Amino acid sequence: MPPNMRNSLGKPNQNRLAAFTLLELLVVIAIIGILAGLMYPAATGVMRRAESTRASNTAYNLKAAISSYFTEYRKYPVIGDREETEELRSDEELMDVLLGSDKEAEEGGLNPRRIAFYSGKQAKRGDEGKYKSGINMDDSGGGTLWDPWFDFYYIRMDLDYNNRVETPEWDTRTDSQYLPESILVWSSGKSGDEEVQSDNIRTW
């Protein structure tokens, strides 16, 4: 039987098989690319919501820590006279107190009993000395608290003890000058700009 006859009656032509396999492979690659394109925005949205949830939980935990400090010492953890409208940050000055740093046992410390009012996980290192999502603790047991976007949390407290705090200037959701709160905690969100209120994280 001639060779070309055997090829048509026996095994498939190898060139045709190779071309068909390559075509299938290209189709599969195209489908994977389309699916990846569809899934990426969804995955990004899930991650963004997870970061916001983590930041919100941390903000409320920080508020609770400040409230616990007030219950213990009958004052707020600030040094000297401060204006109520002054925005404090979750930097060393505040967090050393709430973490119960060794330095707080020294003269002038605001937490001489060294009670740990706040606890959390270790922050992740970023660029330019910044961190994200947790506590950057130092050798004394104090440190700084960071949101998921490499920034501090911001705080206002009822420093004149009249059961209200002045509304932050950027909060345009209300016309009231005051909020019926003792402690406000917020993060400026992914944008890093408080004026972009859509991504701000707040406890009120």
Inter-residue contact 144 to 130 (CB < 8 Å): no
Choose the weakest-confidence range: 16-30, 96-110, 135-149, 158-172. Answer: 16-30
Q: What percent of the chain has pLDDT over 70?
A: 88
For the chain, give the mean pLDDT. 90
Distance CA 105, CA 128 (A): 31
Label the pairing between strands 143-146 and 154-157: unpaired
pTM of this prediction?
A: 0.79
What is the residue whose two structure tokens read 């409208």? Answer: 85
**Residues 6 or more apart in contact with residue 164 via CB below 8 angstroms:** 158, 178, 179, 180, 181
**Residues 6 or more apart in contact with residue 65 via CB below 8 angstroms:** 98, 117, 118
Distance CA 189, CA 204 (A): 15
pLDDT of residue 3: 52
Using pLDDT thresholds of 50, 70 and 90, give the confidence band for residue 5.
very low
SS3 190: coil
Mean pLDDT of 46-74: 96
| Per-position DSSP letters for 141-163, written without gaps between them | S-EEEE-TTS-B-EEEE-TT-SS
In the chain, domain spans: 38-202
Distance CA 141, CA 161 (A): 30
Distance of CA 73 to the CA centre of its chain: 29
Distance of CA 47 to the CA centre of its chain: 11
Mean pLDDT of 177-186: 98
pLDDT of residue 43: 64
At 69-114, the pLDDT tens digits run 999 999 999 988 888 889 999 999 999 999 999 999 999 999 999 9
Q: Is pLDDT larger for residue 73 or for residue 6?
A: 73
What the block records as the tokens of 50 is: 């997870």
At 32-52, the pLDDT tens digits run 878 777 776 666 778 889 999
Mean pLDDT of 138-160: 98
What the block records as the tokens of 26 is: 């290209």
pLDDT of residue 40: 65
What the block records as the tokens of 35 is: 């699916």
pLDDT of residue 12: 54
DSSP-derived letter for residue 122 is: B
